[in-house]
């Protein structure tokens, strides 16, 4: 049985939706599953509107069109003043409005989506594109599809109104007083075990998910201005190549806070790329020192200068936080999913609490982009967090959203509240770990005492 997952990323969907209002896209038809024929397209799409039709070719181009008219097989043109064609140029959406609205869309039984006489997907029930710029739509063919007219896939999405939930599904106070309370709670936090002075939080995630950006963002909150200490940015390979432990200062002149964020090399789906799972195991046990240079082809061994033979509780990881990009959760590659599953099983055996941090919520949802306070009223973000919960096999209560600072120059109190709430949740989870350690120690002492008494 096939799973009909959208090929468009959440970010690409968001770009298209930003042209249409507060809407979402629901996948109706996927040629690679239902068939590259006009009949298969019409069976799934006739009567639906508005729609976004998308073609994909082997050159990596993503292009298509939007119409408010319902598809049919009448062999006639339909009027649509709002129809447009589009293509993606990197992260940017290029848009080509209809020039003759009375010829915006043609209803043809033996083809897929048919825009004017300019662009046809599944032309003649074949996995090909018909392209003729200037026929009711003006575009550059090379810019649109790179002159590659062979379709790798074709999708049609129903455009639906995106619901803003009447009531937030989580309670959060958006006031400056709450921000100050969160800051104070983090500053005054103390681990429940006296031999430990800081809670060590390990950040694990795919390349570009926002691990380093999360540290920079939290650091910015306590510095009072946006700063960038950890290397972060856009790259296809991990910018973090070392094991880095980051302390956060309580202001420019303040001392270190009782939390250490541990950054790792990003996970990659390819074998022999990204951080090795055995390295993660060593980190969890506290055996890897700050500054260790990761080697994707071979995990750390006990002869390495950065390897600790003897460790204490203060060296170990007290909470694991998986960092997921909200725009990519629905299209996570299978091999990356398998790596995360393997890590989660390993962490489970070590009884370390686990949290999920969903980043880039503003890029995934226009509603949140306009107002971050609507994060818990966004139907889409709730669905995204539910998917993250299912993928990691953790309760929804273990999933928290954040908006990292990426392009801003000034702090935003509402973004700060989300960031600080996430940090406080990490500290609470670390306390759960310390409680388990204390209980295990007390049970061991009790059993030993009973044994001595029986002697």
pLDDT number for residue 127: 96
The pLDDT value given to residue 16: 95
Q: What is the Cα Rg of the chain in Å? A: 26
Q: Which residue range is the domain that position 52 belongs to? A: 10-161
Are both 377 and 269 inside the same structural domain? yes
Torsional class of 136: left (φ above 0), alpha (ψ -120 to 50), beta (otherwise): left
One domain, residues 201 and 238: yes
pTM over 0.85: no
Contact 214, 415 (CB under 8 A): no
* Type and span of the H or E element at 449: helix 413-454
Strand partners, 244: 263
77-124 tens-digit pLDDT? 999 999 999 999 988 999 999 999 999 999 999 999 999 999 999 999
Report the pLDDT averaged over residues 55-59.
96
pLDDT over 90 percentage in the chain = 68
The structure tokens listed for 403 are 């908006």
Indicate the pLDDT class of residue 441, thresholds 50, 70 and 90: low
Asked if residues 246 and 260 have their Cβ atoms less than 8 Å apart, the reply is yes
Q: Is 261 helix (H, G, I), strand (E, B) or coil?
A: strand
With pLDDT > 70 as the criterion, what percentage of the chain qualifies?
93
Task: Note whether residue 3 is domain-resident.
Answer: no
pLDDT at 444 over 90: no
CATH code assigned at 415: 3.40.50.300
Q: Quote the pLDDT of residue 445.
A: 52
Q: Is residue 193, in this structure, part of any structural domain at all?
A: yes
What is the predicted pLDDT for the residue at 451?
43
Whether 448 is covered by a domain: the verdict is no
Asked whether residue 49 falls in the same domain as residue 72, the answer is: yes
Higher pLDDT, 161 or 218: 218
- 453 band by pLDDT with thresholds 50, 70 and 90: very low
The predicted-structure confidence for 12-24, as pLDDT tens digits, reads as follows 998 999 899 878 8
Residues 145, 238 within the same domain: no
Tell me the average pLDDT across 236-249.
74
Considering its fold, how many domains does the chain have in total?
2
What's the distance, CA 129 to chain centroid? 32
pLDDT of the residue at 213: 92
Mean pLDDT of 309-323: 94
The two three-digit tokens of residue 165, written as one number: 């939930």
What confidence category does residue 346 fall into, taking pLDDT thresholds of 50, 70 and 90?
A: very high
Instruction: Taking the CA atoms of 364, 54, 337 and 203 in sequence, report the sign of the dihedral they define.
Output: negative
Let me know whether 419 and 281 are in one domain. Answer: yes
pLDDT on residue 26: 93
Tell me the per-residue pLDDT of 379-435, one tens digit each, with 9 for 90 and over. 889 999 999 999 999 999 999 999 999 888 899 999 999 999 999 999 999 999 999
| Strand, coil or helix: 207 | coil
Confidence of residue 294 (pLDDT cuts 50, 70, 90): confident
Task: Indicate the burial class of 252 (C-beta count within 10 angstroms; 0-12, 13-18, 19 or more).
Answer: exposed
Q: Measure the CA–CA gap between 396 and 381, rounded to whole angstroms.
A: 12
- Same domain flag for 108 and 250: no
Q: Are residues 83 and 202 in the same domain?
A: no
Question: Residue 166: inside a domain, yes or no?
Answer: no
274 in the same domain as 132? no
By the 8 A CB rule, do 84 and 95 touch?
Answer: yes
State yes or no: pLDDT of 62 exceeds 50: yes
């Amino acid at each position: 049985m096939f799973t009909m997952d959208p090929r468009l990323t959440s970010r690409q969907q968001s770009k298209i939706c930003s042209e249409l209002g507060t809407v979402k896209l629901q996948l109706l038809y996927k040629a690679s599953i239902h068939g590259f024929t006009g009949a298969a397209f019409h069976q799934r799409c006739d009567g639906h509107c508005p729609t976004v039709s998308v073609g994909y070719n082997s050159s990596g181009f993503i292009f298509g069109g939007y119409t408010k008219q319902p598809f049919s097989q009448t062999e006639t043109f339909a009027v649509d003043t709002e129809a447009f064609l589009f293509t993606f140029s990197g992260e940017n959406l290029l848009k080509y409005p209809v020039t003759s609205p009375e010829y915006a869309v043609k209803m043809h039984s033996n083809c897929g989506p048919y825009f004017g006489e300019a662009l046809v997907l599944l032309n003649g029930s074949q996995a090909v594109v018909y392209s003729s710029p200037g026929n009711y739509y003006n575009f550059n063919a090379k810019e649109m599809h790179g002159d590659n007219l062979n379709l790798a896939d074709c999708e049609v999405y129903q455009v639906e109104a995106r619901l803003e939930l009447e009531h937030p599904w989580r309670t959060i106070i958006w006031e400056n007083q709450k921000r100050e309370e969160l800051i104070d709670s983090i500053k005054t936090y103390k681990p429940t075990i006296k031999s430990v002075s800081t809670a060590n939080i390990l950040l694990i995630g795919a390349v570009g998910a926002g691990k380093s950006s999360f540290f920079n963002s939290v650091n910015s909150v306590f510095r009072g201005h946006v700063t960038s200490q950890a290397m972060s940015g856009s790259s296809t390979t991990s910018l973090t190549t070392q094991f880095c432990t980051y302390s956060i200062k309580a202001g420019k002149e303040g001392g270190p806070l009782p939390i250490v964020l541990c950054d790792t090399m990003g996970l990659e789906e390819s074998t022999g790329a990204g951080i090795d799972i055995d390295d993660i195991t060593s980190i969890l046990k506290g055996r890897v020192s700050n500054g260790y240079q990761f080697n994707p082809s071979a995990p750390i061994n006990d002869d390495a200068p950065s390897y600790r033979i003897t460790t204490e509780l203060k060296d170990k990881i007290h909470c694991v936080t998986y960092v997921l990009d909200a725009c990519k959760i629905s299209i996570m590659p299978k091999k990356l999913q398998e790596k995360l599953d393997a890590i989660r099983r390993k962490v489970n055996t070590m009884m370390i609490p686990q949290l999920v941090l969903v980043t880039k919520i503003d890029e995934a949802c226009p509603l949140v982009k306009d107002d971050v306070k609507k994060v818990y009223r966004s139907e889409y973000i709730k669905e995204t967090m539910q998917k993250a919960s299912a993928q990691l096999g953790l309760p929804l209560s273990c999933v928290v959203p954040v908006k990292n600072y990426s392009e801003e120059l000034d702090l935003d109190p509402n973004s700060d509240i989300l960031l600080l709430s996430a940090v406080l949740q990490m500290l609470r989870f670390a306390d759960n770990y310390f409680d388990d350690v204390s209980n295990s120690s007390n049970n061991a002492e009790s059993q030993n005492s009973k044994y001595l008494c029986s002697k």
